[in-house]
Amino acid sequence: MSFSDTFQENDQKKMKQMEAYRSDDDGQALTTDNALKLTSTDDSLKAGERGPTLLEDFHFREKITHFDHERIPERVVHARGFGAHGYFELYESMSEYTKADFLQVPGSKTPVFVRFSTVVGSRGSADTVRDVRGFATKFYTESGNYDIVGNNIPIFFIQDAIKFPDLIHAVKPEPNNEIPQATTAHDTFWDFVVNAPETAHMVMWAMSDRAIPKSFRMMEGFGVNTFRLINAQDKARFVKFHWKPLLGVHSLMRDEAQKLSGKDPDYHRRDIWDAIEQGNYPEYEFGVQMIEEDQEFDFDFDLLDPTKLWPEELIPVKIIGKMTLNKNVDNFFAETEQVAFCPANIVPGIDFSNDPLLQGRLFSYEDTQLTRLGGPNFREIPINRPVAPVHNNQRDGMHRMAIHPGPVSYFPNSLAQNSPSPVPEEEGGFAHYAQRIDGHAVRARSESFRDHFSQATLFWNSMSAAEKEHIVDAFHFEVGSVKDVNLKQRVVDMFASVAPELAVQIAAGIGAKPPAQAVPKSTQASSPALSQENTIKTARTRKVAILLESGFCTVSVRNMLAELKAAGAVGETVSSSLSEISGKDGTPLKPDKDLTTSGALLYDAVYVPGGSDHVNVLKQNHNARSFINEALHHAKTIGASDEGAELLQATDAAAFLPDLRDAQAAPQIFQGVVVVNGGSTLQPFCTAFVDQLAMHRHWSRAN
Ligand code: HDE
């Protein structure tokens, strides 16, 4: 077997293991759980056709009993999530830094399972709410399962795990009436914030566009906590982990996200499911930031403080591999719901730091599975099984699957020649990093954790004008939803320590007083890596609606569809109904979507081709006009050729577009609106449209 064959196999290893558990019911007889074939499942066994049901109806009892017990407790946080399979491929050997086996051989592949999630909402809540997103990855390595249980924001609200229950109680729906669902826009959350100033930096991220991602495919992932990489010589370095999406980091707008919660509460899961089904596999590069142990105190932040990031300009992210998600789950419950992540799942070559948030997490995750998955054998559930062999003396418990023959289940033993026996480090045994620890037992926090504002200010300083506007708007909505007037004022006063101009704008929005004291900013520094303006921009996988009624210009539509396809984007035809229409040359067309079930919220851009009959019908249709208006207000790309521009003139776009009758055969671009007159069949128009589409949004005209 060649080198590459081995890796091919490796990549498939988890899927092959899962295969053994898949139940294929196709063409099979219906049976009970005991494999008894059934003649009917429509009627219970009764004493006469109109008589009472008989207790001896074991089929009825089994069916109902199973149904009665179908639900398990949802995750206490991150309840709503969506998972996919894939693989990680290493670009370059990391042997200088770590002995982790999956980071040694360039080109090697490791199977992974990823679960994305929101934090606050319950299982049935909407995808697009303002929230942190979980980004948890399980690597099924040859040395055991390794989990990076990260988020899409590189820092956290609190510095010590002991405050986590308080934070989560404050942010979840209020306990007296269980209102509001899946949002931070309520009194208890902001009450916690103003009483715990360590939250300042994370709140800035949570109020930014990062908290309303456009897609799971377009958000970064961060390990957040500081870990260690350990090489074969036992040299350790501090490390932070990063996932960087190849489609760039992009977000929704607040108004758009809120409307999407109603239009399509499954927006994010549908997006990633469809992308994988269509072969548009989400890809994320994997990077590490490393700091030598002897440089631990060289920075103006503490490496162990989880409310601090390591600015990428100061400590560059070294890209070492790529993850590709290429398979949807077969069964949501079996895989996505039952997967159990834990930051304590590490492999030789990786170790922990003393970050007090991480230390608490190491306990919490295994513990919570006991309630959620009903006992200590959850690691035997197919999705949680390592591909590496498991041997130990753990026995019994609810739902035990493994059958261990023989009388020995202890160590040391002579009866089984000490099997299974520990192995030395050289043979793959895990040895904890021999960190020197010396200290008094104190319930205290390090002085080096006291600066709560300078990185919050760094974040604000790094934002583009549009991003700043969005942050102010988010504060306006969130704090504007708080009932307690005193609390609102305290938010303004707290964020004056981040940036006085921010506090003034928050105050104006929520009817509070400007901050009593103008605190000078603690830093003028900025970090360009923090702004989404500097991200990758591409038209790949973007969705474009082409609005059509009978009489549209067939050639223009054909050209646009071809151009979109060439750019890796997706064009969909949208009409007032799903009934067949025809182009002005008579070509029949069955629209992909209709204006009632669809809408601008579900697309990145809209194109209106020429054809006077078709445009005259569109102009009369309220849904078509709102389609344009919505795309306009959400700063999306809009294209119109020939008579198509008349539809724009019938919308809010008219206010800033010049008279389109004067438009030239060369494309003209007005803040992301591309129009052409007489040149719709020409390449430059389509190219200009796709270039604008790749820009994601045109913030200058957003309102
Ligand atoms: Fe978690 N977190 N967390 N968390 N977390 C859970 O474990 C916890 C934190 C994260 O898709 C729970 O299995 C504590 C930071 C993700 O299944 C629970 C603290 C980060 C997921 C838990 C934190 C995360 C969880 C609930 C403070 C980013 C979903 C269900 C010390 C690095 C994983 C479960 C999935 C889930 C505890 C803070 C990420 C209760 C105590 C910081 C992505 O164990």
**210 appears as a binding residue in the annotation:** no
Q: Ligand 1: which of 72, 120, 210, 365 to mutate, most ligand atoms within 8 Å of CB? A: 365
- Strand partners of residue 572: 545
- For residue 438, the 8-state DSSP code is -
Ligand 1 contact via 80 beta carbon (within 6 Å): no
Q: Catalogue the E-assigned strands of 488-634.
A: 543-547, 570-575, 581-582, 588-589, 593-594, 605-608
Calculate mean pLDDT across residues 581-610. 97
User: What confidence tens digit (pLDDT) does each residue in 524-574 have?
Assistant: 999 999 999 999 999 999 999 999 999 999 999 999 999 999 999 999 999
**Percentage of residues in the chain with pLDDT exceeding 70?**
97
> Residue of the nearest CA to atom 23 in ligand 1?
361
Write the single-letter amino acid at 85: H
Q: Which atom, in ligand 1's list, is nearest to the CA of 151? A: 28
Q: Which atom, in ligand 1's list, is nearest to the CA of 76? A: 26
User: What confidence tens digit (pLDDT) does each residue in 365-375 have?
Assistant: 999 999 999 99
Question: Is the predicted pLDDT of residue 587 greater than 80, yes or no?
Answer: yes
d(CA 415, CA 395): 18
Q: What is the pLDDT of residue 701?
A: 79
Write the single-letter amino acid at 653: A
> Are 98 and 231 within 8 A, CB to CB?
yes
Q: Tokens in use for 409?
A: 């289940």
Q: How far is the CA of 248 from the centre of ligand 1 (A)?
A: 25
Ligand 1 contact via 156 beta carbon (within 6 Å): yes
> Residue of the nearest CA to atom 8 in ligand 1?
361
Secondary structure in 3-state letters for 356-410: HHHHHHHHHHHHHHHHHHCCCCHHHCHHHCCCCCCCCCCCCCCCCCCCCCCCCCC
Q: What is the pLDDT of residue 9?
A: 67
Calculate mean pLDDT across residues 84-92. 98
Residue 206: closest CA among 311, 307, 355, 301: 307
Give catalytic residues, as residue numbers. 78, 151
Q: Catalogue the E-assigned strands of 246-359.
A: 283-292, 318-328, 350-352
139: CB partners within 8 A, 6+ apart: 88, 102, 110, 111, 112, 145, 146, 147, 148
Sign for the pseudo-dihedral over CA of 273, 279, 280, 282: positive
Q: Which atom, in ligand 1's list, is nearest to the CA of 81? A: 11
Q: What is the pLDDT of residue 666?
A: 84
- Angle of helix 187-195 relative to helix 485-495, nearest 10 degrees, comes to 40
Please, what CATH class does the domain formed by 537-701 belong to?
A: alpha beta
171: CB partners within 8 A, 6+ apart: 119, 120, 184, 188, 189, 192
- Angle of helix 485-495 relative to helix 500-510, nearest 10 degrees, comes to 160
* Cis ω before 420 (30° cut-off from 0): yes
Q: Catalogue the E-assigned strands of 580-636.
A: 581-582, 588-589, 593-594, 605-608
Ligand 1 contact via 341 beta carbon (within 6 Å): yes
User: What confidence tens digit (pLDDT) does each residue in 507-533 have?
Assistant: 999 999 999 877 888 899 999 999 999
Q: Ligand 1: which of 242, 364, 381 to mutate, most ligand atoms within 8 Å of CB? A: 364
Calculate mean pLDDT across residues 414-432. 97
Q: Ligand 1: which of 132, 202, 333, 341 to mutate, most ligand atoms within 8 Å of CB? A: 341
Question: Is the predicted pLDDT of residue 4 greater than 50, yes or no?
Answer: no
**115 appears as a binding residue in the annotation:** yes
pLDDT-derived band at 147, boundaries 50, 70, 90? very high
> Residue of the nearest CA to atom 9 in ligand 1?
361
> Are 349 and 98 within 8 A, CB to CB?
yes
- For residue 239, the 8-state DSSP code is E
Q: Tokens in use for 685?
A: 């128009």
d(CA 244, CA 535): 10
- For residue 657, the 8-state DSSP code is S
Q: Which atom, in ligand 1's list, is nearest to the CA of 79? A: 30
> Residue of the nearest CA to atom 43 in ligand 1?
134
CA distances from 310 to 95, 299, 306, 668 (A): 23, 9, 10, 43
Residue 445: half-sphere exposure toward Cβ, Cα within 13 Å = 15
Ligand 1 contact via 224 beta carbon (within 6 Å): yes
User: What confidence tens digit (pLDDT) does each residue in 168-179 have?
Assistant: 999 999 999 999
> Residue of the nearest CA to atom 28 in ligand 1?
150
Question: Is the predicted pLDDT of residue 608 greater than 50, yes or no?
Answer: yes
* 3-state DSSP assignment of residue 550: coil
Ligand 1 contact via 76 beta carbon (within 6 Å): yes
User: Tokens 């009624």 sit at which residue?
Assistant: 549
Q: What is the pLDDT of residue 292?
A: 98
Question: Is the predicted pLDDT of residue 658 greater than 80, yes or no?
Answer: no
Residue 461: its H or E element: helix 454-462
User: What confidence tens digit (pLDDT) does each residue in 15-66 have?
Assistant: 999 999 999 999 999 999 999 999 999 999 999 999 999 999 999 999 999 9
Domain ranges of the chain: 81-384, 460-521, 537-701
Q: Which fold has domain 81-384?
A: Catalase HpII,  Chain A, domain 1 (2.40.180)
User: What confidence tens digit (pLDDT) does each residue in 64-78 have?
Assistant: 999 999 999 999 999
**91 appears as a binding residue in the annotation:** no
d(CA 474, CA 484): 18
Q: Which atom, in ligand 1's list, is nearest to the CA of 78? A: 29
Distance of CA 133 to the CA centre of its chain: 5
> Residue of the nearest CA to atom 27 in ligand 1?
161
Please, what CATH class does the domain formed by 460-521 belong to?
A: mainly alpha
Question: Is the predicted pLDDT of residue 6 greater than 80, yes or no?
Answer: no
Q: Which atom, in ligand 1's list, is nearest to the CA of 367? A: 44
Question: Is the predicted pLDDT of residue 3 greater than 60, yes or no?
Answer: no
Q: How far is the CA of 52 from the centre of ligand 1 (A)?
A: 49
Q: How far is the CA of 533 from the centre of ligand 1 (A)?
A: 29
> Residue of the nearest CA to atom 32 in ligand 1?
150
Residue by residue, DSSP assigns 141-202 as: ETTEEEEEEEESSSS-S-SSGGGHHHHHHHHSPBTTTTBS-S-S-SHHHHHHHHH-GGGHHH
Q: How far is the CA of 422 from the centre of ligand 1 (A)?
A: 31
User: What confidence tens digit (pLDDT) does each residue in 296-348 have?
Assistant: 999 999 999 999 999 999 999 999 999 999 999 999 999 999 999 999 999 99
Distance of CA 588 to the CA centre of its chain: 40
Ligand 1 contact via 357 beta carbon (within 6 Å): yes
Q: What is the pLDDT of residue 517?
A: 76
d(CA 211, CA 440): 39
Calculate mean pLDDT across residues 349-365. 98
Are the folds of 81-384 and 460-521 the same? no
User: What confidence tens digit (pLDDT) does each residue in 258-291 have?
Assistant: 999 999 999 999 999 999 999 999 999 999 999 9
Ligand 1 contact via 344 beta carbon (within 6 Å): no
> Residue of the nearest CA to atom 11 in ligand 1?
115
> Are 615 and 649 within 8 A, CB to CB?
no
Question: Is the predicted pLDDT of residue 5 greater than 70, yes or no?
Answer: no
Q: How far is the CA of 268 from the centre of ligand 1 (A)?
A: 20
Ligand 1 contact via 134 beta carbon (within 6 Å): yes
pLDDT-derived band at 1, boundaries 50, 70, 90? very low
* Total-model pTM: 0.97
Question: Is the predicted pLDDT of residue 8 greater than 70, yes or no?
Answer: no
Q: How far is the CA of 423 from the centre of ligand 1 (A)?
A: 32
Sign for the pseudo-dihedral over CA of 24, 28, 31, 34: negative
> Are 169 and 365 within 8 A, CB to CB?
no
Q: How far is the CA of 138 from the centre of ligand 1 (A)?
A: 14
State the Rg of the chain over Cα.
Answer: 29
**130 appears as a binding residue in the annotation:** no
Q: Which atom, in ligand 1's list, is nearest to the CA of 116? A: 11
> Are 644 and 612 within 8 A, CB to CB?
no
645: CB partners within 8 A, 6+ apart: 608, 657, 660, 663, 675, 677
**164 appears as a binding residue in the annotation:** yes
* 3-state DSSP assignment of residue 343: coil
Question: Is the predicted pLDDT of residue 2 greater than 50, yes or no?
Answer: no
Ligand 1 contact via 364 beta carbon (within 6 Å): yes
Ligand 1 contact via 75 beta carbon (within 6 Å): yes
d(CA 521, CA 519): 6
> Are 545 and 572 within 8 A, CB to CB?
yes
Calculate mean pLDDT across residues 123-149. 98
Ligand 1 contact via 117 beta carbon (within 6 Å): yes
Ligand 1 contact via 368 beta carbon (within 6 Å): yes
Q: Which atom, in ligand 1's list, is nearest to the CA of 160? A: 31
Q: How far is the CA of 682 from the centre of ligand 1 (A)?
A: 53
Q: Catalogue the E-assigned strands of 555-648.
A: 570-575, 581-582, 588-589, 593-594, 605-608, 637-641
Phi/psi-derived region of residue 671, left when phi > 0, alpha when psi is between -120 and 50, beta in every other case? left
Q: How far is the CA of 195 from the centre of ligand 1 (A)?
A: 23
Question: Is the predicted pLDDT of residue 493 greater than 50, yes or no?
Answer: yes
Q: Ligand 1: which of 113, 138, 361, 363 to mutate, most ligand atoms within 8 Å of CB? A: 361
Between CA 280 and CA 292, with CA 286 as vertex, the angle to 5 degrees is 175
Ligand 1 contact via 78 beta carbon (within 6 Å): yes
Ligand 1 contact via 81 beta carbon (within 6 Å): yes
d(CA 321, CA 86): 13
Residue 81: its H or E element: strand 81-90
Q: How far is the CA of 115 from the centre of ligand 1 (A)?
A: 12
* Cis ω before 111 (30° cut-off from 0): no
* 122-141 as b/e: b if 16+ CB within 10 A: eeebbbbbbbbbbbbbbbbb
Q: Which atom, in ligand 1's list, is nearest to the CA of 156? A: 42
**433 appears as a binding residue in the annotation:** no
Residue 561: closest CA among 495, 510, 607: 607
